């Protein structure tokens, strides 16, 4: 348009364009407002979307990962732990602080010493030193733990696992039993079973209800899988939630796929104990504990569940209980103990009473 033309006509043409530019600028500014991406201003819906994806990977939120699938530990809901509180969450905070070099007893009591240590940690990490463990402090405290890790942070994870029904010694060593307990917990929480205690698994460990469910009363049998070596798992029994005895046990022929034909990695879940005998005379002979059938769920899409039957806890024996043991813990479709261990188990349970269920995890 020629600048010398009628000025009123020029104003009529430019005014709508100016309004449109203003609206676009406002929308663009809103879409890219830092508050929209702030962990503290994330809406519950956004938090659910970001926490619903992926597993407990040691690598998360990498450059190039779409925002919708990125798991932000700050956006997740973490429990607030503060002065005056007691329990395993406080013990966890204390152990994680100790792992970061703060001299602090893990006594489960959030008192002045713990408050002081939290404030010191917060200052060192440029956080507001309020002495309260919230989302930002949790995210700074946790670290990725995996097989081979050791120290106070591992001890904290082990205590949490035990409090959630996956007992493991709080020895600070991330070995096969801790790995098995982590994977069992991840499966229960519908997380990727990678055996790594990353941000998602830490979040689930400290968020899951603790101490609200009483330990099962009486005697309970539990088979704890070793996902690295199927023939070095554990069969244990507990009384009122306390470990009485643990035996080395195997399940399957080496595969951890529960639906593999004739492989026998026992499906996870709770089994009814149908009976027990010392002179069984079928494919399984001698000492045997008969378990109810169990469905396994194939990993391939649209494949129906498969019923697994003829399930036993047994050893390799003759009908009279004589040993045919050759030192192998591999078994098709069952849990296998050594002959001395299964006899010891029978003697103990004959004395105290037989459990009605077996839990496999």
For residue 339, the model assigns a pLDDT of 94
What's the length of the chain? 361
Query: How many other β-carbons are positioned within 10 Å of the β-carbon of residue 161?
Result: 23
Query: How many other β-carbons are positioned within 10 Å of the β-carbon of residue 77?
Result: 12
Quick one: average pLDDT of 43-56?
32
**What's the mean pLDDT when you consider all of the chain?**
77
Closest residue by Cα to residue 181 from 211, 151, 204, 158: 158
C-beta of residue 141 within 8 angstroms of C-beta of residue 96: yes
Which positions ≥6 away from 242 have C-beta within 8 Å? 215
Closest residue by Cα to residue 174 from 206, 146, 204: 146
For residue 314, the model assigns a pLDDT of 94
Q: pLDDT tens digit string along 83-109?
A: 988 878 888 999 999 999 998 888 888
Give helix 152-163 / helix 199-207 axis angle, nearest 10°: 50
pTM score of the predicted model = 0.48
Query: How many other β-carbons are positioned within 10 Å of the β-carbon of residue 45?
Result: 8
pLDDT band at 21 (very low <50, low <70, confident <90, very high): very low
Question: 4 is written with which tokens?
Answer: 């010398």
In whole angstroms, how far apart are CA 217 and each of 60, 163, 235, 275, 285? 41, 16, 18, 20, 31
Q: pLDDT tens digit string along 168-220?
A: 878 889 998 899 889 988 988 888 999 999 999 999 998 876 543 445 567 88
């Amino acid at each position: 348009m020629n600048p010398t033309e009628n000025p009123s006509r020029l104003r009529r043409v430019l005014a709508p364009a100016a309004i449109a530019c203003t609206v676009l600028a406002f929308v663009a500014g809103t879409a890219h407002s830092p508050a929209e991406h702030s962990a503290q201003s994330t809406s519950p819906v956004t938090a659910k979307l970001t926490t619903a994806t992926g597993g407990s990977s040691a690598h998360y939120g990498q450059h190039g990962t779409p925002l919708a699938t990125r798991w932000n530990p700050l956006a997740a809901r973490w429990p607030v732990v503060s002065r005056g509180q007691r329990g395993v969450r406080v013990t966890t905070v204390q152990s994680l602080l100790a792992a970061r070099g703060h001299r602090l007893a893990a006594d489960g009591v959030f008192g002045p010493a713990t408050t002081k240590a939290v404030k010191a940690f917060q200052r060192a990490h440029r956080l507001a030193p309020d002495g309260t463990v919230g989302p930002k402090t949790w995210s700074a405290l946790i670290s990725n733990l995996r097989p081979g890790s050791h120290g106070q942070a591992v001890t904290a994870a082990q205590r949490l696992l035990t409090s959630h029904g996956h007992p493991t010694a709080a020895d600070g060593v991330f070995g096969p039993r801790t790995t098995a307990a982590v994977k069992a917990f991840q499966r229960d929480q519908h997380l990727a079973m990678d055996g790594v205690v990353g941000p998602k698994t830490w979040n689930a460990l400290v968020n899951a209800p603790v101490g609200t469910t009483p330990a099962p009363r009486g005697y309970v049998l539990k088979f704890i899988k070793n996902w690295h070596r199927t023939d070095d798992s554990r069969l244990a029994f507990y009384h009122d939630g306390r470990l009485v005895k643990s035996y080395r046990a195997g399940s399957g022929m080496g595969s951890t796929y529960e639906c593999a034909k004739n492989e026998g990695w026992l499906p996870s879940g709770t089994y009814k104990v149908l009976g027990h005998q010392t002179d069984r005379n079928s494919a399984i002979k001698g000492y045997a504990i008969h378990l109810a059938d169990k469905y396994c769920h194939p990993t391939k899409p649209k494949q129906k569940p498969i019923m697994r039957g003829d399930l036993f806890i047994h050893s390799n024996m003759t009908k009279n209980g004589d040993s045919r043991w050759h030192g192998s813990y591999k078994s098709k479709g069952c849990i296998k103990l050594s002959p001395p261990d299964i006899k010891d188990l029978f003697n103990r349970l004959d004395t105290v009473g037989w459990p009605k269920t077996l839990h496999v995890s």
